Amino acid sequence: MVTKEDIEYVAKLAKLKLTDEEKEKFIPQMGDIINFANTISELDTDNVEPTQHILETNNVFRKDEVVPSYKREDILRNAPEKEAGCIIVPGVNN
């Protein structure tokens, strides 16, 4: 059974300041969590393949191909400020 001291210990580890009312509220909740963990630990998982994610995920790769783009001159023509073939943009910290 979970005690008030158990809740205080966990709160201290988590650097939480709990009121007495909160501590009393968490006693049955912590007990439920521990009971659930005990129930899960009783399951037979000998023939269960380990997983990393509940859904199977696959990376989808595409061929990295060079494709035609805009001409540099066309892009620079529309830039409000430019210098040495580059677009001047406002600083982030300004």
| HEC per residue, the chain | CCCHHHHHHHHHHCCCCCCHHHHHHHHHHHHHHHHHHHHHHCCCCCCCCCCCCCCCCCCCCCCCCCCCCCCHHHHHHCCCCEECCEECCCCCCC
24 found inside a domain? yes
- pLDDT of 55 > 90? The answer is no
pTM across the whole model? 0.50
73 within domain boundaries: no
Q: Would 78 be classed as within a structural domain?
A: no
Pair 39, 16: CB distance under 8 Å: no
The CATH number given to whatever domain includes residue 28 is: 1.10.20
**Structural domain includes residue 49:** no
Whether residue 22 has pLDDT greater than 90: yes
The reply to whether 90 falls in a domain is no
For residue 31, give its domain range: 4-41
Is residue 71 a part of any domain in this protein?
A: no
Q: Is residue 34 part of a domain?
A: yes
Average pLDDT over every residue of 30-48: 94
Number of domains in the chain: 1
Mean pLDDT of 1-23: 96
